[in-house]
């Protein structure tokens, strides 16, 4: 019975294999988690412990003070603008509409570019795709110059109609900017997804008498969940984390998104850099995106599989 | 492929039935829907590119200027390209190092992790978000964490000294010849999980019968990957390349947050250069010219890709 | 009428914030509402970018913290307000030192008010460490080197330096002043005289800088200035070369000048003041906000606020007629030095801080210094060449 | 007057002409099957009728009204797709109701219609399932239900059975046939399964490279193919096509089939040939279907033109109901269909009965039937 | 001694038993076809033979050596997959050579082998193309080439033709048949096309839900199905299965088929039934294949048990070579297969000739053949 031996040796071989694989995965997991771990433990330590102690050690007497400070007020001497708490809501107000609008527009564009092609659709798509690659720094000045006229427009409207339609609002500006510069990506994602979406379904709906929008709303949208997940995650992370546009267009102050506040906390240079507060603030700023990735991570890979990667 | 009404047929038959306004509207609807997005892109991307080009030929310093200054800015950049002391030279060399390493290591690591994760791993649901989460963090957060982690006086080095490995030395972030590599490390840490997800999706899409065939053909696991699977991931490599390339080119915040461009000016990237010269140094024309050159560099890589990609597909 | 003032600044750290609060409180006491737009990071870089975008978008703040030539740049764009009438009424042109007025007045109009005056040619010494190693206040550059050598031998970090370009260049300002004397400094760094820049004195200055750098600890790259100050405060390091804003950190740490630490002029620069000043640039605002703007400007330059602000900030008042009663030892010295320098014509703008030349040149200068410090430029000869070239390029 | 008329229809994609002038008509209640190899333009033709593709030239009329410019939803047609194209996000009921919903039919009416259709197709118990929970056959039924419920003037089917397995396909075929018989609807049906074509059609149109090859009843197409393409394309196993020469013998025109090894067989000219006498020595192609070659017992007792030919058996393929016997004639493989219990061995020499009533002759140059 | 022996093979995925104790053997040079409905475990069985899945219980032997634990590449087998599983990144030549390359065969030898195989399969001109540039049939050939070039002991085919269109499928079927005949290799072949199974196999194994239903020659399976499942599954159109009752009449056991409307038909008991007499009134299922029901002319002249039954024609399906006639008997649809030129009209009452030599009888309870 030679096969018994060979099969058992094969078994041993696979067991060894498994150990190596799991080992490697675990090591990488540790490496990837390390910065997060450090941030997390540091954020619960006192400054004394941080200065004296080991970066990786667990806090000996954990304190939530840094978190409270980061959240409620991160500077000393009582002259602060408060922590980043107030800015959380600013970020939400900006992110949610920006993500929704850019995703929806991306979906519509993807729909038109795959299911309602017209001569030149490739050029249009190519141009939208190329737009993903421009360095954003180079649009700051022209964009703000343009927004000046938007502001004027808003003022004029306010003077004449009594309502400015939100035109001079920094939040509106930020939403607008993020929508414009997110369009390339959302369109790309949806186009690739809808490219693989059966034409026959669209045709069936057409024969069934559905209109352009009905087809989109009743047939394509309900079947776009995977790519919606990918796009929303992508856009949400990018917009939430953006600092450049936030610093340029938020007008600063009370309208600033989270990242700006975080930057002020982190770059605040009191005598001692309060690492624990910095880390806590960084964690707070990252919580929504972390949450999104962890909760929707599975759908993310699935969504990528469903077409986004074909690029 | 789309349905487009043509009234030529009707005209030919002479039947007096003209499409009404509603029908015309229906026909134009797709274009109407696409138009706002396209116009936005046209204005705010291509319009602004034109504007940048315009500025690069002006004598703009701290404010926009309409005075034509010829190719002065470009001449400057051209001169600086070959002067190793100049920031522009540093930035160009750095983007070379950074882009190559960042893209290569991200891809290699991403692929490696994806392959490991594809071995019917039990805890995949737990591991995947662990590799993926850095993508969720902003560059500021990444910078803060890594700046600290890599600081010889505070971070890893210090910790290992604590643990008794006193000879351990890792001060790349303080070393002008090494600092750009710390940017690579942080960048890779941040993006490799995303690449991993892309590859994982690709691996999941490979026909299992093909792997059976390869097994019967006598290929071992390594040969299967090298000869059969990885070559088939070509489109994913391309997409990953595009994603990474654009992130590499746009990398700006990471440098600022991690090294502040230093030590000295040793970790500058072109986007830092552009930003600095446009906004801080009152040399807007030079900054714009550098932006134009960056765009040309990007076009040289992306346009052929886009062209082939869009032409192939029917 | 809108009783609101909006101020963009990057004063988010302890002493700075406390100083700003003096202005705020004064404004609030007059019934104005106070709106801040803090944008920290990069010593005002981030704030200036934000400001540019805001101005381009027509969202002018009432005032913005601003440095040196930047005021003139904005003024050139015609976005600044006009405070000339107020200035006349208040007699600012008599009390504000002439070199400062150069940055506050554009085309005959007052467009900004200097909030304070910092001088950068200071040496901050930890007294305890000095006593421990048995050193004395250095009078000459060579004294300094000897002192640093002693500290090194004693196992403390001799020179606390933050390896960021502006810190290095700020220190170099002092080195040049010390090495070449007041006239040389003015020729080289304010008049940008080619011969001076090319001179051997400049080369010697770089050599001296190189000497200083050998006394810096290896981890200095990228360090923030206040961390370097903290090293001196804690006694980890002996001395720091830094502007007088460092005093705010000492103060915040509860240290007293004279007993805990010493503030002395960088050896060889006594009698000269290399200054920078924080300005509040006043923007053109709609008519309904102009009253508030004027009130802000008046408040900032009022004697009480000047005193209160500068005591907290560590700087000295930007008008020469503020009594030094409440200032500490270093403050008193600073006020005295300023009056002397102002009268004697040895009040120089710091090139590193953007008061010697327009930003493009200042940045080119900082580049060369930082590259020299970090070894991207290897020799002093090369440094001189590069400096000339860089300044030339930036003109 | 025809119900559906297609006049000189052309369709171009850019410079490529996909349909090259199609002329077709179909009477009311007819069942037109379009067959042809992959890529020949069947789906394109169907789509132009549905209005899903615009046409480059020509005209389509339904009940004498041109419908060229009409939107698909206005054409009163229903279509069943190869992949069924069921909306995956809706239940079966939702799928069936969608078309009516789009047309604004009130809910009560919709429900009634669904009820009726689901009874006809026996899918009542599936109405609340999603398409992904259905088997292939069930999906096909639902797709049909969606078309039926609309009660349109014209049905279009694009290879509706090709995704089903062999067994199910036969069942569904019978069902479609019955549906046609009971509802009397006019149907255009695309397939490339010839059995489907033969059994379902009242009229078959054979398409190749965008050109009609032949239009006719199934029997016409099968028994009197216009050209070699049609002859070869229709029927499985395919018609045996053998090179032969016309010759005069005893005053009659005969066909001589030459073996490679020399020698050969002489057959009388099939009756199907049009009267025109063939010149002596003219090359022709002799076509005969496998079922017209049998063993002696199996030969059609009603045929008036059975010819016996001896040949050596190459391969025997018992296929359950029949046995296919492969032999050689004139250097070409020839397949004969025998009863399943015919006792045949490879290598054996056997008399084969050729039923010349069923034979046809082609011109090798033009491919046309003579 | 059998070449391939499978003893009590079981395969479980978790708790689900997919193969429930399979016992099979195949002689050298045999052609075993596995048939069965989708999901019955055909592919799984094939994969266990290939070593691509490990087995939960039982044993597989090749030439009397157990191969249970052996790596697939060590088993000296070749496999052709439904999707062909060609490596898209390699040329045709590379695909064919890959297995040899992995085994370290030198280049010169590889080239020779490729040359030879590509000649056999007429794919020589394709060697430098990528799989994506091939048509379905060409891909299938390349997949076969990849298997052939290895010259293994055993070939495994997993539905190799199911992705081809009907016409190509017939051609490739003949080719595989010829290949088997010329090379004499042992083959295990999975399909769910019965025609393929019938024409190719020397032995058919019918699988259902992981259990073997019947193993035998094609003729056995077709003519003497062990149970109702096999009877229904094999053959297209399917065997007519009609409820009937045994009765005694004139001292003989007969079958009575009752019409819905009362009345009915009496048929003598088919000869196929085993001798055991059926109790009076016992319910049975009478099975007869469509080709055993014909018109009078078409009836098999050699049969000894033709019974004539009158019935009304429901549907006539002319299918080119044959005409299927659907009628009703005992409340069930019954399909008869007639010659294509049989003159039959729906509604007509016709005498149908039942060839009882080909009829079988099943127990309705157990489903077993009596
Ligand atoms: N949008 C298009 N642009 C260009 N060519 C097209 C387009 N759609 C189809 N074609 C071409 O038109 C021809 C006919 O296609 P069609 O789908 O009608 O074939 P078919 O007969 O239905 O084939 P099948 O049996 O494979 O379904 C094909 O050669 C195809 O490549
Ligand atoms: N890895 C697996 N885990 C669990 N169940 C499986 C797995 N692979 C196959 N099965 C199940 O085993 C059964 C048999 O599958 P198998 O692929 O052998 O069917 P098949 O007879 O080849 O069907 P088909 O004709 O559709 O190819 C199916 O019910 C399938 O769902
Ligand atoms: Mg088609
Ligand atoms: Mg299978």
Which residue has its alpha carbon closest to ligand 2 atom 7? E13
- Residue B59 CB-density burial (10 A; 0-12 exposed, 13-18 middle, 19+ buried): middle
pLDDT at E274: 66
**Ligand 2 contact, E48 CB (< 6 A):** no
pLDDT at A268: 63
pLDDT(C309) > 70: yes
pLDDT at B99: 92
pLDDT at E211: 92
Q: Which of B79-93, B166-180, C337-351, D294-308 comes out lowest in average pLDDT?
A: D294-308
E252-258: strand order across its sheet: E264-268, E252-258, E240-249, E283-288, E360-362
**Ligand 2 contact, E235 CB (< 6 A):** no
Residue B207, in any domain of the structure: yes
Please check whether residue B5 touches D, CB under 8 A: yes
Interface test with A, best of D12, D13, D73, D110 (most A CBs within 10 A): D73
More confident of the two residues B46 and E254: B46
What is the best residue among E15, E42, E193, E211 to mutate for testing ligand 2's pocket, by most ligand atoms within 8 Å of CB? E42
pLDDT at B10: 31
Reference D364, options D238, D245, D240; nearest CA is D245
| Banded pLDDT at B11 (limits 50, 70, 90) | very low
pLDDT at A58: 82
Helices C303-313 & C287-301, crossing angle to 10 degrees?
70
More confident of the two residues E239 and B18: E239
Residue B38, in any domain of the structure: no
Averaged pLDDT for residues A172-191:
90
List CB contacts (< 8 A) between A118 and chain B.
2, 4, 30-31
E203-208: strand order across its sheet: E77-80, E154-158, E186-190, E31-35, E203-208, E211-216
pLDDT at D30: 92
pLDDT at C52: 83
| 219-258 of A, contacting D, C-beta below 8 A | 219, 222-223
What's chain A's average pLDDT? 80
Reference A272, options B96, C15, C73; nearest CA is C15
pLDDT at A253: 66
Please check whether residue E301 touches A, CB under 8 A: no
Averaged pLDDT for residues B235-244:
84
Q: Which subunits count as partners of chain C given 3+ CB pairs below 8 Å?
A: A, B
* pLDDT, tens only, D168-216: 787 788 888 888 888 888 999 998 788 888 889 999 999 999 999 999 9
Q: Do chains C and A touch (3 or more CB pairs under 8 A)?
A: yes
Interface test with B, best of A117, A301, A303, A306 (most B CBs within 10 A): A301
Whether B269 contacts B252, CB under 8 Å = yes
Averaged pLDDT for residues E45-51:
91
Ligand 3 center to C123 CA (angstroms) = 86
Distance separating alpha carbons of residues D340 and B187, to the nearest angstrom: 73
Which residue has its alpha carbon closest to ligand 1 atom 18? D41
* pLDDT, tens only, B111-170: 999 999 888 888 888 888 888 888 888 877 788 788 888 887 777 887 788 788 878 788
Averaged pLDDT for residues E69-88:
87
pLDDT at E10: 93
How far E154 CA lies from chain B's nearest CA (Å)?
Answer: 12
Compare CB distances from D66 to B5, B15, B19 and report the shortest one's residue.
B15
Interface test with B, best of D68, D73, D79 (most B CBs within 10 A): D68
Reference D200, options D214, D183, D215, D179; nearest CA is D179
Averaged pLDDT for residues C293-308:
90
Determine the residue of chain D that is closest to B17 in CA distance: D69
pLDDT(B102) > 90: yes
More confident of the two residues B162 and E25: E25
Start-to-end CA span in chain E (Å): 32
Domain encompassing residue B131? 75-313
| Banded pLDDT at B12 (limits 50, 70, 90) | very low
Residue B61, in any domain of the structure: no
Taking an 8 Å cut-off on Cβ atoms, the answer to whether A145 and C56 are in contact is yes
Taking an 8 Å cut-off on Cβ atoms, the answer to whether D72 and B3 are in contact is yes
Taking an 8 Å cut-off on Cβ atoms, the answer to whether A141 and B49 are in contact is no
Averaged pLDDT for residues D70-83:
86
Radius of gyration of chain E (CA): 24
Compare CB distances from C73 to B85, B275, B282 and report the shortest one's residue.
B282
Looking up residue B188, the CATH number of its domain turns out to be 1.10.3720.10
**Ligand 1 contact, D194 CB (< 6 A):** no
Which spans in C265-313 are helix H? 287-301, 303-313
List CB contacts (< 8 A) between D297 and chain E.
301-302
Please check whether residue A208 touches D, CB under 8 A: yes
pLDDT at B5: 32
Whether C151 contacts C145, CB under 8 Å = no
Helices D136-148 & D107-121, crossing angle to 10 degrees?
130
**Ligand 1 contact, D49 CB (< 6 A):** no
Averaged pLDDT for residues D310-334:
81
Q: Which of A216-225, D154-163, E335-344 comes out lowest in average pLDDT?
A: E335-344
**Ligand 1 contact, D54 CB (< 6 A):** no
How far E35 CA lies from chain B's nearest CA (Å)?
Answer: 20
Taking an 8 Å cut-off on Cβ atoms, the answer to whether A4 and E69 are in contact is yes
Residue B192, in any domain of the structure: yes
Whether A135 contacts B249, CB under 8 Å = yes
Which atom from ligand 2 is nearest to the alpha carbon of E36? 21
pLDDT(C2) > 80: no
pLDDT(C372) > 70: yes
* pLDDT, tens only, B48-72: 999 889 988 988 777 777 788 888 8
Helix or strand run (H / E) with residue E312: strand E306-318
Q: Do chains D and C touch (3 or more CB pairs under 8 A)?
A: no
With vertex at residue D26, the alpha carbon angle to CA D21 and CA D31, rounded to the nearest 5 degrees, is: 115
**Ligand 1 contact, D13 CB (< 6 A):** yes
pLDDT(A38) > 60: yes
SS3 A29: helix
How far A3 CA lies from chain E's nearest CA (Å)?
Answer: 5
More confident of the two residues B187 and A304: B187
Distances (CA, A) of E356 to A75, B300, D319, E233, E339: 101, 80, 20, 20, 19
Count of residues for chain B? 314
Taking an 8 Å cut-off on Cβ atoms, the answer to whether E69 and A10 are in contact is yes
Ligand 2 center to E49 CA (angstroms) = 15
SS3 E21: strand
Q: Do chains C and E touch (3 or more CB pairs under 8 A)?
A: no
Which atom from ligand 2 is nearest to the alpha carbon of E42? 21
**Ligand 1 contact, D15 CB (< 6 A):** no
| 159-178 of A, contacting B, C-beta below 8 A | none
| Banded pLDDT at D260 (limits 50, 70, 90) | low
Averaged pLDDT for residues A123-129:
88
How far D219 CA lies from chain E's nearest CA (Å)?
Answer: 7
Q: ipTM of the predicted structure?
A: 0.82
Helix or strand run (H / E) with residue E241: strand E240-249
| Banded pLDDT at D262 (limits 50, 70, 90) | low
Q: Which of B295-299, B301-305, E294-298 comes out lowest in average pLDDT?
A: E294-298
Q: Count other Cβ atoms within 10 Å, centred on residue D211.
A: 15
E69: Cβ–Cβ under 8 A, 6 or more apart, which residues? A3, A4, A6, A7, A8, A10, E54
pLDDT(E218) > 80: yes
pLDDT at E1: 63
List CB contacts (< 8 A) between B5 and chain D.
54, 69, 71
pLDDT(A265) > 90: no
Per the structure, how many domains does chain B have?
A: 1
Residue with tokens 């090494």: B178
Whether E180 contacts D53, CB under 8 Å = no
pLDDT(C91) > 70: yes
Pairing mode, if any, of strands E332-339 and C112-114? Answer: unpaired
A244: Cβ–Cβ under 8 A, 6 or more apart, which residues? A136, A137, A140, B252, B253
Residue B133, in any domain of the structure: yes
Beta bridge partners of D9: D22
Please check whether residue E60 touches A, CB under 8 A: no
Ligand 4 center to E46 CA (angstroms) = 9
Distance separating alpha carbons of residues C123 and C261, to the nearest angstrom: 10
How far D75 CA lies from chain A's nearest CA (Å)?
Answer: 8
Pairing mode, if any, of strands D283-288 and D240-249? Answer: antiparallel
Taking an 8 Å cut-off on Cβ atoms, the answer to whether A263 and C46 are in contact is yes
Ligand 1 center to D148 CA (angstroms) = 27
Taking an 8 Å cut-off on Cβ atoms, the answer to whether D69 and B10 are in contact is yes
List CB contacts (< 8 A) between E103 and chain B.
218
Q: Which two tokens stand for residue D80?
A: 């069943």
pLDDT(C303) > 70: yes
* pLDDT, tens only, D205-238: 999 999 999 999 988 898 889 899 999 888 878 8
How far D142 CA lies from chain E's nearest CA (Å)?
Answer: 21
Compare CB distances from D219 to E218, E237, E318 and report the shortest one's residue.
E318
Residue B280, in any domain of the structure: yes
Residue B43, in any domain of the structure: no
Whether E191 contacts E161, CB under 8 Å = yes
pLDDT at A75: 46
pLDDT at A101: 94
* pLDDT, tens only, D4-13: 999 999 999 8
């Amino acid at each position: 019975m030679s096969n018994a031996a060979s099969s058992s040796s094969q078994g041993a071989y696979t067991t060894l294999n498994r150990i190596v694989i799991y080992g490697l995965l675990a090591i990488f997991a540790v490496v990837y988690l390390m910065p997060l771990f450090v941030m997390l433990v540091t954020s619960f330590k006192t400054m004394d412990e941080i200065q004296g102690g080991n970066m990786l050690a667990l806090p000996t007497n954990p304190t939530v003070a840094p978190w409270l400070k980061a959240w409620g007020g991160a500077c000393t001497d009582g002259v602060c603008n408060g922590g980043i708490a107030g800015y959380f809501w600013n970020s939400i107000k900006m992110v949610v509409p920006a993500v929704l609008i850019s995703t929806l527009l991306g979906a519509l564009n993807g729909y038109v570019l795959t299911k309602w092609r017209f001569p030149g659709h490739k050029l249009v798509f190519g141009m939208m795709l190329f737009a993903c690659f421009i360095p954003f720094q180079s649009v700051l000045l022209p964009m703000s110059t343009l927004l000046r006229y938007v502001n004027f427009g808003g003022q004029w409207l306010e003077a004449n109609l009594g309502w400015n339609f939100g035109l001079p609002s920094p939040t509106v500006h930020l939403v607008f900017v993020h929508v414009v510069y997110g369009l390339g990506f959302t369109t790309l994602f949806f186009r690739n997804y809808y490219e693989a979406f059966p034409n026959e379904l669209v045709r069936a709906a057409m024969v069934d008498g559905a209109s352009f929008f009905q087809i989109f709303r009743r047939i394509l949208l309900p079947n776009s969940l995977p790519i919606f997940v990918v796009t929303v995650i992508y856009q949400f992370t990018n917009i939430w984390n953006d600092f450049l546009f936030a610093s340029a267009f938020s007008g600063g102050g009370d309208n600033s998104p989270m990242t700006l506040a975080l930057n002020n906390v982190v770059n605040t240079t009191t005598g001692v850099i309060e690492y624990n507060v910095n880390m806590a603030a960084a964690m707070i700023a990252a919580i929504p995106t972390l949450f999104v990735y962890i909760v929707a991570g599975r759908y993310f890979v699935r969504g990528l599989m469903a077409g986004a990667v074909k690029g | 492929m789309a349905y487009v009404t043509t009234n030529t047929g009707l005209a030919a038959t002479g039947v007096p039935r003209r499409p009404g306004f509603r029908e015309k509207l229906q026909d134009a609807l797709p274009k109407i829907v696409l138009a706002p997005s396209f116009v936005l892109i046209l204005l705010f991307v291509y319009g602004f590119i034109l504007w940048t080009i315009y500025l690069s030929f002006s004598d703009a310093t701290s404010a926009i200027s309409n005075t034509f200054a010829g190719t002065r800015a470009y001449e400057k950049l051209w001169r600086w390209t070959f002067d190793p002391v100049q920031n522009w030279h540093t930035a160009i060399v750095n983007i070379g190092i950074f882009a190559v390493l960042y893209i290569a290591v991200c891809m290699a690591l991403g692929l490696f992790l994806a392959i490991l994760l594809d071995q019917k791993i039990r805890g995949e649901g737990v591991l995947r978000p662990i590799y993926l989460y850095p993508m969720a963090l902003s560059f500021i957060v990444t910078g803060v964490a890594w700046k600290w982690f890599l600081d010889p006086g505070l971070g890893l080095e210090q910790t290992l000294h604590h643990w008794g490995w006193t000879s351990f030395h890792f001060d790349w972030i303080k070393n002008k010849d090494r600092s750009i590599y710390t940017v690579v490390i942080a960048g890779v840490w941040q993006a490799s999980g995303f690449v991993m997800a892309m590859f994982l999706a690709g691996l999941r899409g490979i026909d299992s019968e093909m792997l059976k065939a390869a097994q019967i053909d006598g290929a071992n696991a390594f040969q299967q990957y090298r000869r059969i699977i990885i070559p088939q991931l070509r489109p994913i490599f391309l997409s990953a390349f595009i994603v990474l390339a654009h992130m590499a080119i746009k990398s700006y915040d990471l440098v600022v947050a991690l090294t502040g461009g230093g030590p000295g000016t040793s970790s500058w990237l072109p986007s830092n250069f552009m930003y600095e010269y446009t906004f801080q140094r009152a040399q807007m024309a030079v900054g714009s010219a550098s932006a134009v050159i960056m765009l040309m560099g990007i076009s040289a890589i992306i346009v052929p890709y886009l062209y082939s990609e869009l032409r192939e597909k029917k | 009428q809108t009783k609101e003032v909006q101020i963009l600044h990057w004063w988010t750290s302890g002493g700075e914030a406390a100083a700003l609060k003096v202005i705020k409180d004064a404004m609030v006491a007059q019934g104005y509402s106070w709106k801040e737009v803090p944008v920290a990071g990069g010593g005002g870089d981030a704030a200036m970018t934000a400001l540019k975008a805001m101005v381009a978008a027509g969202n002018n703040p009432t005032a913005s913290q601003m440095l040196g030539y930047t005021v003139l740049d904005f003024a050139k764009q015609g976005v600044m307000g006009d405070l000339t009438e107020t200035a006349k009424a208040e007699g600012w042109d008599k009390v504000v030192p002439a070199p400062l007025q150069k940055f506050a007045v554009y085309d005959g109009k007052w467009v900004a008010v200097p909030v304070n005056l910092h001088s950068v040619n200071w040496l901050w010494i930890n007294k305890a460490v000095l006593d421990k190693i048995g050193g004395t206040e250095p009078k000459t550059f060579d004294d300094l080197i000897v002192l640093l050598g002693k500290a090194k031998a004693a196992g403390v970090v001799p020179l606390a330096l933050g390896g960021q370009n502006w810190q290095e260049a700020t220190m170099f300002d002092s080195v040049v002043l010390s090495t070449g004397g007041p006239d040389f400094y003015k020729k080289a760094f304010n008049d940008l005289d080619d011969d001076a820049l090319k001179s051997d004195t400049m080369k010697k200055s770089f050599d001296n800088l190189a000497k200083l750098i050998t006394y810096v600890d290896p981890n200095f790259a990228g360090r923030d200035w206040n961390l370097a100050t903290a090293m001196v405060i804690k006694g980890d390091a002996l001395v720091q070369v830094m502007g007088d804003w460092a005093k705010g950190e000492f103060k915040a740490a509860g240290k007293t000048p004279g007993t805990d630490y010493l503030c002395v002029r960088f050896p060889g620069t006594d009698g000269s003041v290399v200054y920078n000043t924080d300005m509040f640039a006043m923007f053109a605002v709609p008519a309904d906000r102009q009253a508030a703007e004027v009130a802000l400007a008046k408040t900032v330059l009022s004697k009480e606020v000047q005193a209160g602000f500068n005591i907290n900030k560590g700087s000295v008042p930007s008008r020469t007629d503020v009594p030094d009663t409440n200032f500490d030892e270093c403050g008193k010295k600073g006020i005295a030095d300023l009056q002397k320098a102002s009268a004697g014509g040895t009040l120089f703008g710091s090139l590193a801080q953007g008061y010697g030349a327009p930003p493009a040149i200042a940045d080119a200068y900082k580049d060369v210094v930082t590259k020299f410090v970090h070894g991207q430029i290897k020799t002093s000869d090369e440094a001189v060449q590069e400096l000339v070239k860089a300044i030339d390029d930036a003109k | 007057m025809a119900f559906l008329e297609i006049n000189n229809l052309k369709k171009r994609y850019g410079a490529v002409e996909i349909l090259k002038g199609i002329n077709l008509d179909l009477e009311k209640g007819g069942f037109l099957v379009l067959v042809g190899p992959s890529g020949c333009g069947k789906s394109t033709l169907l789509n132009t009728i549905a209005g899903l593709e615009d046409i480059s030239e020509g005209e389509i009329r339904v009940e004498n009204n041109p419908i060229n410019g009409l939107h698909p939803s206005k054409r009163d047609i229903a279509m069943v797709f190869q992949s069924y194209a069921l909306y995956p996000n809706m239940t079966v009921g939702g799928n069936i109701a969608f078309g009516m919903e789009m047309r604004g039919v009130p809910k009560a009416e919709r429900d009634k219609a669904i009820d009726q259709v689901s009874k006809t197709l026996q899918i009542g118990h599936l109405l609340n399932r999603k398409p992904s929970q259905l088997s292939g056959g069930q999906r096909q039924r639902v797709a049909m239900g969606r078309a039926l419920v609309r009660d349109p003037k014209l049905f279009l089917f694009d290879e509706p059975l090709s995704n089903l397995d062999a067994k199910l396909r036969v069942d569904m075929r019978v069902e479609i046939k019955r549906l046609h018989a009971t509802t009397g609807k006019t149907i255009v049906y695309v397939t490339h399964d010839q059995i489907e074509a033969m059994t379902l059609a009242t009229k078959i149109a054979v398409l190749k490279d965008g050109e009609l090859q032949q239009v006719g009843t199934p029997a016409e197409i099968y028994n009197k193919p216009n050209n070699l393409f049609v002859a070869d394309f229709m029927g499985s196993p395919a018609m045996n096509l053998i090179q032969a020469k016309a010759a005069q013998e005893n005053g009659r025109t005969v066909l001589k089939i030459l073996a490679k090894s020399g020698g050969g067989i002489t057959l009388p000219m099939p009756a199907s040939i049009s009267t025109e006498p063939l010149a002596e020595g003219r090359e022709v192609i002799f076509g005969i279907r496998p079922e017209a070659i049998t063993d002696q017992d199996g030969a059609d007792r009603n045929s008036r033109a059975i010819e016996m030919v001896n040949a050596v058996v190459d391969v025997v393929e018992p296929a359950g109901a029949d046995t296919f016997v492969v032999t050689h004639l004139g250097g070409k493989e020839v397949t004969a269909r025998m009863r399943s219990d015919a006792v045949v061995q490879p290598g054996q020499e056997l008399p084969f009965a050729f039923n010349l009533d069923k034979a046809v002759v082609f011109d090798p140059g033009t491919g046309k039937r003579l």
